[in-house]
């Protein structure tokens, strides 16, 4: 008997019929002798609906008090899901019990709308499992030191599931979603994208951070930190397929790197449309100037991604970086009104019409010329590179947004990742 955590996304929980199918699938695993903890997301579209209502009442949702109430509101979506799934499991003849995150409790800090998990008390869950029950826990949420409900940010149910699996030392965490695994790139952009049977933790972490939407990056970080075996698979396969077949399906995120290093130099192409570039022109080139720019941005709780500083010319330099597109207007205003006057910068400019395209692969550690192949491929397509960032296993470039799909298709082909056209589920 193994302890296994199942996580189901919003699409998998999108209707009562789909919830019935989830209950049947969970029941199959229980009857095979496994202890199962289920972490479901809110029903598809529900969180957006709830936050949309709040925005109608308060368009400027920036104060701590408003953020606190947004968490209290958004958390109700998952509470509906766990209750419905518990009822569906009981209808399947199984003993089931549901918990909200605060009842477990899953303790977090007080960073409303993007809280971080600090600890999980698993005693109640273990007692219920020992009594033969299926335990269902809300994803996406917890409770802070003041007893307030908190949420972990969008995609936080993945993080909840992996954290629970880590706390309980589960044999595996199965992430059921609307795709059947991790692909070499998005099949909607490249029909020839191939599903990967395995991908290393390092590669998956890079893919998630660079724009792949299959797994939320914090869930991958948790899996790596606590070495949680993680598998991504589809909830839209027939619920009654044999467990042995289901347990081998999808994509396994593995901690074994050696085989991958010999199989492929590049494992996948990631892209992100949600970025914008800002540039501070004519900054005095002297110690501390980078801190004065980025420190002000950090103090405004704005995340910075790629950074580049040009060579000094006549004692001045240009400083560019990227931020999430949602933070673009706020960043530009901050730089123009506060940073530029304080640093003596000549001008502030920006471009919200950029994207980031990245190649990722463990094999890049042991092969030369990979970045050169990327740059040559983009050059042959007439695509200009605006910024470059590298690590041991990835190279990212910022390009004009209008060339994104062309770049992804060309790179996918150049690194030999094309296969038979992917078939949508």
Fold of 3-256: Carbamate kinase (3.40.1160)
Classify the C-alpha dihedral 271-276-281-287 as positive or negative. Answer: negative
Residues in the chain predicted with pLDDT less than 70, given as ranges, are 61, 256-264, 420-425
pLDDT digits (tens, 9 = 90+) for 69-124: 999 999 999 999 999 999 999 999 999 999 999 999 999 999 999 899 999 999 99
Domain ranges of the chain: 3-256, 261-418
364 CB-near residues (< 8 Å, 6+ apart): 265, 266, 370, 392, 393, 394, 395
Find, among 152, 139, 36, the residue nearest to 97 by Cα.
36
Q: What is the average pLDDT value for the chain, to the nearest integer?
A: 91
pLDDT score, position 263: 55
SS3 186: coil
Say how far apart CA 205 and CA 207 lie, in whole Å. 6
Q: How many helices and strands in the chain, by DSSP H and E? A: 15, 20
pLDDT score, position 256: 67
pLDDT score, position 257: 54
pLDDT score, position 260: 45
Q: Do the Cβ atoms of 260 and 366 come closer than 8 Å?
A: no
Say how far apart CA 297 and CA 22 lie, in whole Å. 44
pTM: 0.83
DSSP secondary-structure letter at 198? E
Residue in the structure block whose two tokens are 């409900």:
149
CATH homologous superfamily of 261-418: VC0802-like (3.30.2130.10)
Structure tokens at 279: 């540039």
pLDDT score, position 366: 80
Say how far apart CA 107 and CA 185 lie, in whole Å. 35
Say how far apart CA 393 and CA 289 lie, in whole Å. 30
β-pairing, 354-360 vs 394-400, is antiparallel
Question: Within 13 Å, how many C-alpha atoms sit on residue 385's CB side?
Answer: 18
Question: From the CA atom positions of the chain, what is the Rg in Å?
Answer: 23
406 CB-near residues (< 8 Å, 6+ apart): 381, 383
Residue in the structure block whose two tokens are 């049947």:
24
pLDDT score, position 261: 42
Q: Do the Cβ atoms of 100 and 79 come closer than 8 Å?
A: yes
């Amino acid at each position: 008997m193994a302890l296994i955590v199942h996580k189901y996304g919003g699409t998998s929980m999108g209707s009562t019929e789909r919830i019935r199918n989830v209950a049947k699938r969970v029941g199959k695993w229980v009857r095979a002798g496994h202890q199962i903890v289920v972490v479901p997301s809110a029903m598809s579209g529900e969180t957006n609906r709830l936050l949309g209502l709040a925005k109608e009442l308060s368009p400027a949702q920036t104060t701590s008090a408003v953020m606190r109430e947004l968490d209290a509101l958004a958390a109700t979506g998952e509470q509906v899901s766990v209750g419905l799934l518990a009822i569906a499991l009981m209808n399947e003849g199984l003993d089931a019990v549901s918990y909200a995150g605060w009842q477990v409790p899953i303790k977090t800090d007080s960073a409303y709308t993007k809280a971080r998990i600090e600890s999980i008390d698993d005693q109640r869950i273990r007692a219920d499992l020992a009594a033969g029950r299926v335990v269902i826990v809300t994803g996406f949420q917890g409770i802070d030191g003041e007893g307030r409900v908190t949420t972990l940010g969008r995609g936080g149910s993945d993080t909840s599931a992996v954290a629970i699996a880590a706390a309980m030392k589960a044999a595996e965490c199965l992430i059921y979603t609307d795709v059947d695994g991790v692909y070499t790139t998005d099949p909607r952009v490249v029909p020839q994208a191939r599903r990967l049977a395995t991908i290393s933790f390092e590669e998956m972490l890079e893919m998630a951070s660079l724009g792949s939407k299959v797994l939320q990056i914090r869930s991958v970080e948790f899996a790596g930190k606590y070495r949680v075996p993680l598998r991504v698979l589809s909830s839209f396969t027939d619920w009654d397929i044999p467990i042995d077949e289901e347990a081998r399906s999808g994509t396994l995120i593995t901690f074994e790197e050696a085989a991958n290093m010999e199989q492929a130099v590049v494992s996948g192409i990631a892209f992100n449309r949600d970025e914008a570039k800002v540039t501070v022109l004519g900054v005095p080139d002297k110690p501390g100037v980078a801190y004065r720019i980025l420190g002000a941005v950090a103090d405004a709780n704005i995340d910075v991604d790629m950074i580049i500083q040009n060579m000094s010319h006549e004692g001045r330099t240009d400083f560019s970086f990227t931020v999430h597109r949602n933070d673009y207007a706020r960043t530009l205003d901050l730089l123009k009104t506060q940073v530029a006057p304080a640093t003596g910068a000549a001008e502030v400019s920006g471009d919200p019409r950029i994207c980031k395209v990245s190649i990722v692969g463990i094999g890049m550690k042991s092969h030369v010329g990979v970045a050169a192949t990327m740059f040559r491929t983009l050059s042959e397509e007439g695509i200009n590179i605006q910024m470059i960032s590298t690590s041991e296993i990835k190279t990212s470039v910022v390009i004009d947004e209008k060339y994104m799909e062309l770049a992804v298709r060309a790179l996918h082909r150049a690194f030999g990742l094309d296969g038979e056209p992917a078939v949508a589920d």
